[in-house]
Chain A
Amino acid sequence: MGATFDLWKLTKTVLFYALVVFIVVVSVFPFYYAILTSLKSGTDLFRVTYWPTSFSLDNFRQVFTQGEFPRNLLNSVFVASVTVILALFLAITASFALSRVRFRGRSLLLMTILAVSMFPQIAVLAGLFEVIRFLGIYNTPWALIFAYTIFTLPFTVWVLTTFMRDLPVEIEEAAIVDGATPWVIITQVFMPLMWPALVTTGLLAFIAAWNEFLFALTFTVSNQTRTVPVAIALLSGGSQYEIPWGIIMAASVIVTVPLVALVLIFQRKIVSGLTAGGVKG
C-alpha cells in the first residue's frame, strides 16, 4: 500500500517537473536559437543544428559596418529616454493630484486616462500625422517622442496614482503641519519615497517606447531617422530568398540582450508594476 502510494507521488513529481522543464524550454528556446543563428556564417546558417557548432562574429561585424544600424540604435535610445523623462515629469504632479486631493470629476478623469491608454493607436494615426506635419517634425525623432506620449503618459499616470494612493497619510499630515505646500510635499516628501515606483514605471515605459512599431513605421521614412524595430523589420535582401537571416538575428540579439538583462535584474519590480496596471487598478 505504502509503496504504491509513493509510486503515485513520484509519478506526480516527475510529471510536474516535466511540465516545468517544458515551460522553461519553450520560453527560452527561440531566443537561444536566435543567438545560435547569429553566431553562424556562410552555408552553416542553412544547416539546422540544436547545439552551437561554430562561432563567428561576422554577422555582428556586418550589422555595425553596413547600413545605418548604429544610427538606428542611437535613435531608439534617444527617443525612448526622452519619452520616459517627459512622461514621468508630467505624470508625477498629475498623479499627486489624482491620488491625494479630492475634487469633483476625479473619477471621470481617471476613467478618461484609462480609456486613452486602451486607445488603438491606429485610431489617431491620421490626425497625428496631420499634427506632426503641422509642427514640422515629420521624419525626425521628435515626431516619435511626441507620438509616444499617447501611451506612456496614461500608463505612468495610472501606475503612479495607484502607488501614491498607498503612501501613508501620516507623512503628508506632518508635512502639512510644518506648512509645506503641495509642490514641496511632492518634491521633498514623496519623491524620495517614490524612487522604486519611478524606476519601475520608467522602465516599463522605456520598454514600450523601445519596442513601438506602428508610429515609427509611419512617421519616419529615411534610414537615418528610423528606430531599431523598423530597421529590423525592413532589413532585407534583394528577394525573398536572399533574406540575410544571420544579420537579422545578430541585430535582434543586440536589441534584445539589454532588455532581457534589465528585465531579469528588475524582475520583481516589473512584475509588481505590470500587475498594478491590471489587477490592483
Chain B
Amino acid sequence: MATDAMAPVATANVPKAKSELMQQRVRAARLFLIPMLVALAIVAGWPLLRSIYFSFTDATLNNLYGAEWIGFGNYLRWTVLESGTVRYRGVLADPDWWNAVWNTVRFAFWSVLWETVLGMIVALVLNAEFKGRGIVRAAILIPWAIPTIVSARMWSWMLNDQFGIINDLGMKLGLLAAPVAWTASADTAMTAVLIVDIWKTTPFMALLILAGLQMIPRDIYEAAAIDGVHPIKQFFRITLPLVRPALMVAIIFRVLDALRIFDLIYVLTPNSSATKTMSVLAQENLFQFNNFAEGSTQSTLLFLMIAIFTVLYIWLGRVNFDGGDR
C-alpha cells in the first residue's frame, strides 16, 4: 500500500504546517537527486545515445566527429548485382554475428540452468542445520570473491592440456582416456567456459535462493511431516512454490549477467569462434579491428536484447518500487 513512511509525520501536524513541511521536503529531495541524476546522465544516458547514434553512421575510431549518417546501412544493406542476385551485407547478414548470438544464448541457457540446479542444492544444504555450516558458507563465498580474470587464469592453468591438474585427475580416476585440450579445442571450449562460470557464480545463486528459503516458516514443514508427506514431495509442493519469487529474480539477474559476458571468455578462450559472444565481438570490432560503426551496431543490438529482458524482469519480478510501504 502507498501509505508512505512519511505519512504519519504529515498527519501528526496541522494541515497548513503539513503542506509547508511536505513542500520543504520535496524541494530538498529534488536538490538531493540532482547530483546523482547529472552523474548518471553523463556516464550512462549520453554515452548510450551516442553509441546508438554511431550505429547509424560510418564512424571510425579516428574520425568520430566527421561521421556521416547512413541510416540502417550498418544493420542491413543490399546490392543487386547485374546477374540479378541480391547480395546482403551488414551485421544482420553477418554469419559471425549470428554465431556470436548463438554462443551467447547457448552460454546463458546452460550456465543459468546449471547454476540454478546446483545453487538450489547448495542452498538446501546451507538451510539444513548441521555442524560446520559456517565453514561451508565461508567456503562457497571464496569463488564469488575471486576476480573473474583471476579465476579465468587459475582455471586455464588447471585445464592446461599438458600440465593441467584436471586432465591428471580425470585420467587417474579413469574418466578421461587421453588429455583434453579444454580451452583450445573447439569442441570443449564452451564446456570449459561453462565449468568456470558455473563454479564462480553458483555461490551467488545459492545465497539468493537461501535468503528465499529462510523466509519460509518452519512450521509448514512440521505440519507436513506430521501428515506424513515425503520430503521429496515436500520440496516440490512446499519449498519450490514458496521460493519461486526469489528464484525468478535470481534467475533473471543471472540471465542478464550471462548475456553480457565478456571477461571470462576474453581471457579463457581468446580468439575462439566456438565461444565468442556478442560483447566480445562488439568490443573487438570497436577497438581492435577498426570497425567502429559495426561494433556500435552490435552493441546496440545487444542492448535491445537486454532491454527486453529487463522489462521482463521488472514485470515478472513485480519489484517493489513504492519506496515507503514497509
- Selected contact of A256 from candidates B145, B212, B306, B324, CB within 8 Å: B145
B256-A264 in contact (CB<8A): no
- B residues 231-262 in Cβ contact with A at 8 Å: 245-246, 249-250, 253, 256, 259-260, 262
B146-A256 in contact (CB<8A): yes
A85 at the interface (CB under 8 A from B): no
Q: Which of B68-76, B79-87, B134-142, B219-227 contacts A (4 or more CB under 8 A)?
A: B134-142
Q: What chain A residues lie within 8 Å of B157 (beta carbons)? A: 33-34, 37, 245, 248-249
Q: What chain B residues lie within 8 Å of A50 (beta carbons)? A: 165
CB-nearest residue of chain B to A109: B33
- Selected contact of A252 from candidates B24, B150, B303, CB within 8 Å: B150
Q: Which of A2-10, A56-64, A176-184, A189-197 contacts B (4 or more CB under 8 A)?
A: A176-184
Q: What chain B residues lie within 8 Å of A131 (beta carbons)? A: 42-43, 46-47, 50
Q: Which of A50, A161, A278 has the most CB of B within 10 A?
A: A278
With an 8 Å Cβ cutoff, the count of chain A residues facing the other chain is 102
B1 at the interface (CB under 8 A from A): no
B141-A263 in contact (CB<8A): yes
B175 at the interface (CB under 8 A from A): no
A94 at the interface (CB under 8 A from B): yes
A218 at the interface (CB under 8 A from B): yes
Nearest Cβ in chain A — how far from B59, in angstroms? 8
Nearest Cβ in chain A — how far from B76, in angstroms? 20
B151 at the interface (CB under 8 A from A): yes
Interface residues as binary, B2-16 with A (CB distance below 8 Å gives 1, 0 otherwise): 001110110010000
Q: What chain A residues lie within 8 Å of B208 (beta carbons)? A: 274-275, 278-279
Interface of A is mostly: helix
Interface residues as binary, A93-106 with B (CB distance below 8 Å gives 1, 0 otherwise): 11011111111001
Interface of B is mostly: helix
- A residues 166-215 in Cβ contact with B at 8 Å: 166, 169, 172-173, 176, 181-183, 207, 210-211, 213-214
- Selected contact of B149 from candidates A20, A111, A115, A233, CB within 8 Å: A233
Q: What chain B residues lie within 8 Å of A27 (beta carbons)? A: 139-140, 142-143, 203
B323-A281 in contact (CB<8A): no
Nearest Cβ in chain A — how far from B44, in angstroms? 5
B35 at the interface (CB under 8 A from A): yes
CA distance A115 to B152 in the complex (A): 28
Q: What chain A residues lie within 8 Å of B154 (beta carbons)? A: 30-31, 33-34, 249, 252
Q: What chain B residues lie within 8 Å of A153 (beta carbons)? A: 36, 39-40, 43
Known: A28-B142, A122-B282, A150-B43. A165 touches B323 (CB 8 A): yes
CA distance A109 to B138 in the complex (A): 36
B313-A118 in contact (CB<8A): yes
A74 at the interface (CB under 8 A from B): no
- A residues 111-153 in Cβ contact with B at 8 Å: 111, 113-116, 118-131, 133, 146-147, 149-150, 153
B323-A147 in contact (CB<8A): no
B36-A90 in contact (CB<8A): yes
A114-B40 in contact (CB<8A): no
- Selected contact of A260 from candidates B146, B165, B259, B324, CB within 8 Å: B146
With an 8 Å Cβ cutoff, the count of chain B residues facing the other chain is 111
CB-nearest residue of chain A to B149: A229
CA distance A46 to B162 in the complex (A): 9
- A residues 198-249 in Cβ contact with B at 8 Å: 207, 210-211, 213-214, 217-218, 228-230, 232-233, 245, 248-249
Known: A165-B323, A259-B145. A218 touches B138 (CB 8 A): no
Nearest Cβ in chain B — how far from A131, in angstroms? 6
B5-A116 in contact (CB<8A): no
A123-B302 in contact (CB<8A): yes
Q: Which of A31, A120, A260, A281 has the most CB of B within 10 A?
A: A120
Q: What chain A residues lie within 8 Å of B152 (beta carbons)? A: 233
Q: What chain B residues lie within 8 Å of A101 (beta carbons)? A: 6, 25-26, 28-29
A159 at the interface (CB under 8 A from B): no
Nearest Cβ in chain A — how far from B142, in angstroms? 6
B130-A16 in contact (CB<8A): yes
Q: Which of A109, A128, A172, A249 has the most CB of B within 10 A?
A: A128
B114 at the interface (CB under 8 A from A): no
A123-B323 in contact (CB<8A): no
Q: What chain A residues lie within 8 Å of B246 (beta carbons)? A: 278-279
CB-nearest residue of chain B to A258: B145
A102-B26, A128-B43, A131-B47 given; name 13 further pairs at CB < 8 Å: A99-B323, A101-B25, A102-B4, A115-B307, A122-B282, A123-B306, A213-B266, A214-B263, A229-B150, A249-B153, A260-B146, A274-B204, A278-B249
CB-based closest 9 A-B pairs: A127-B47, A127-B50, A97-B29, A123-B303, A120-B260, A182-B28, A93-B32, A94-B36, A213-B263
Please name 12 pairs of A and B residues whose Cβ atoms are closer than 8 Å in the assembled complex, sorted by A: A91-B36, A94-B35, A100-B6, A101-B28, A126-B299, A131-B47, A211-B147, A228-B147, A232-B150, A233-B267, A256-B145, A270-B141
B residues in contact (CB < 8 Å) with A = 4-6, 8-9, 12, 21-22, 24-26, 28-30, 32-33, 35-36, 39-40, 42-44, 46-51, 53-54, 64, 121-122, 125, 128, 130, 132, 135-155, 157-158, 160, 162-165, 168, 199, 203-204, 207-208, 211-212, 245-246, 249-250, 253, 256, 259-260, 262-263, 266-267, 278-279, 282-283, 286-287, 292, 295-296, 299-300, 302-303, 306-307, 310, 313-314, 319-324, 326
